[in-house]
Structure 1
Amino acid sequence: MRKKYAKTISCLLAALLLTGCQATPSSVKNKAKDYTNSKDVTVDKEEFVSVDHLLDNMDSLLKASYQNMILADTIHIEQPQSVSVLQLEIQKNLATPENVKKMSRTILGTNKYDHLIKNFKKQCHFDYDIYGINYNSKKDPEIQIDASGFYVILPNPKLFGAYGIRAIYHADFGQPLGYCTLNEKKVLLDTQCQYVNNWCDKKADVIETMYDDFRVKTIYKCKSDGIEYLAYDICKYYKGIPFDDISYSTDQENTTDTISYFSNILNITTLDQPKIEGMRNNNFCFKIKSEKTHNDKLISLKRALNLAETQMSGAHKSEIIDIDIKYLICETAQTTYTDTGKEKIICSYEARPVWSFIMDNKEHQTKNVQWSRKFINIDMITGKVEYHESDNWDD
């Protein structure tokens, strides 16, 4: 079980007391001139733009100088086909023997395990259906799918997700990934990544049919049970926009509702040879309940850059290593009560389009957690700006 990484903050009180009554050195005063307090950044009054003009003047905007932030040359922004607000719901009737058979034939390439399919509901003390084969197997192929749409297919049960992380590679930066060594074998990461992308084009929608593309975003070199392997975060795309690959929590005040934000990605693993050794989704299987298109009135890149800068600290320049257009899923859990007083929780899911300005979370980088990030999200329709940090977990 992974434990949440606990962040610690130390306060240098003695240092503050020693320096509090001293004059500010001229060198510090001169350095401070290079930065601007975020509240003093002039907010651009540019009107909204259509989807076709979101990235107007992108090259010059990404090369420009900004008062409170530095834009890295790793930034790679994709033009979306269309932008909407999506009301989502969890697919029904997912946990069935038929879907287990479908996954077995797609991932394992065989139907020889079909006779082993059973419902593990009672065995696992669940109050919902969970169909599969070889539940919690340590050596044989394993498949599970439950009523919420969480599923996992493991030809190699030892390779389950990104654990024991040793290195991180950013496939979405659009730059060559180079080589790494897996179990004393030299592996070209670009070849492995291309294999996974090609495989996803043909087979990743075996259960999740809502998406029009699946593409590798981040690759982790991992080690578990003495085996080195690659774990891939696969973004799911809808009309040219990926869903968020970051999970984070927020504190909500003055409300009885619980609001959370979570990643909606696919996880795949491979060894040193191009072959799928495991696949799972991260949360639920969704389908679109309703869609409202907003292609005529959107926040452009130019305005998003200006809004992001207003959130930056005036003490130093923040380095933005990536800027994404993506769908952010908000889950609202509303607690109600029946006439008999029984608690009832109703969940609703909405995906909103955001500009996301990504910063490395240098204070929280260990070899045992997934890529830790700080980020500023800007709603592409309302212009609402929020600053957050990703939730990360230990092995």
Structure 2
Amino acid sequence: MTTDVLIIGGGVIGLSIARELAFDHSVCVVERGRCGRQASSAAAGMLGAQAEAYGDDAFFRLCIGSREMFPALAASLLEETDIDVGLDNAGTLLLSFTEADIAERRERFAWQMAAGFEIEQLSATDIRRAEPFVSTDVLGGFYLPKDGQIDNRKLVEALQRSCEVRGVKFVENTRIDKLTVENGKVTGAFADDSKFSADKVVLAAGAWGTAIDAGVELPFVIKPMRGQILQFRTAKRLFEHVIVGPRGYIVPRSDGRVLAGATMDDAGFDETITNEATAHLIESTTEISPSLGSQKPQDAWTGFRPFAPDRLPVLGRTPNAENLLLALGAFRNGILLSPVTAKLIADDIRGVAPSPEEFSPVRFFRRLVNGSVQR
């Protein structure tokens, strides 16, 4: 099969890139399983650009920019596919249960306030008024009105439907094992005896990104970081906001489901739901809301976050294969970063602008010392 752009990986990142490029390119997405069924479906759908920020740097600005793209994206997908992706702009509450929690978060968010980002400090009374089912032990917290959520499973469903409408070809349950590179260009991608050829190849395979033989040296490794989530269900919606405690978070859906997460451990591709992780999530949920934590979880699952050595995304062309672009390492922010990643990769392929230097794969090549690999 020959196409303008071959995208290896059909998660939220790969689907977003495919949808963007389908305007003016023939696109084929090859996915090792079913599209959107790995980390993209395992996520909680938080759009926490501010909640998880620790400094005003290029990554923070990337997250903010991507978060601001979601209203237009959700509207476009609804018009094109008739699928409501559940964009919820109620905002995020960050709870504090000790004076130390309050002091740490006040210091942590001071720079955001100084820079003019929307954030409001709340009293315990304010929080309980906004969320009556939050623990009475809460001492205070912060409100981030712009950090919302999206139904990530509806998002990947809508993205794939949109891609189909725009003519993207899908090859599922097909694992690309290796790329061949000749004279500095990828000339083929192979899955057993099947060969795929394209003018441009985008490697967007999530936690499996560097498990594929790229045909050239990639001086870094994407590691799978396992995360576990519990799902509770209530008879009616009890919570209006994403709520983040010191040791966990809950994400309420409009249908009464509440997702509680998330753990993180380096366990390779082991999908096991562990008793230790389950106990931790019940404890952290109970801290936020004893009434919710006392219920029996309805479901549980794991997913693999793609972790780059410096915790930053890896976006753009590799210096040793001119038509190979990487869209890897989104880690905890794959859903949040999907629209901006699509724009950056599409701009690079169209010759509009290269991906930002801070996130380029070139940074790892510069760090090579005697052929060592960044892990």
TM-score for the superposition, normalised by structure 1? 0.21
More strand by share: 1
TM-score for the superposition, normalised by structure 2? 0.21
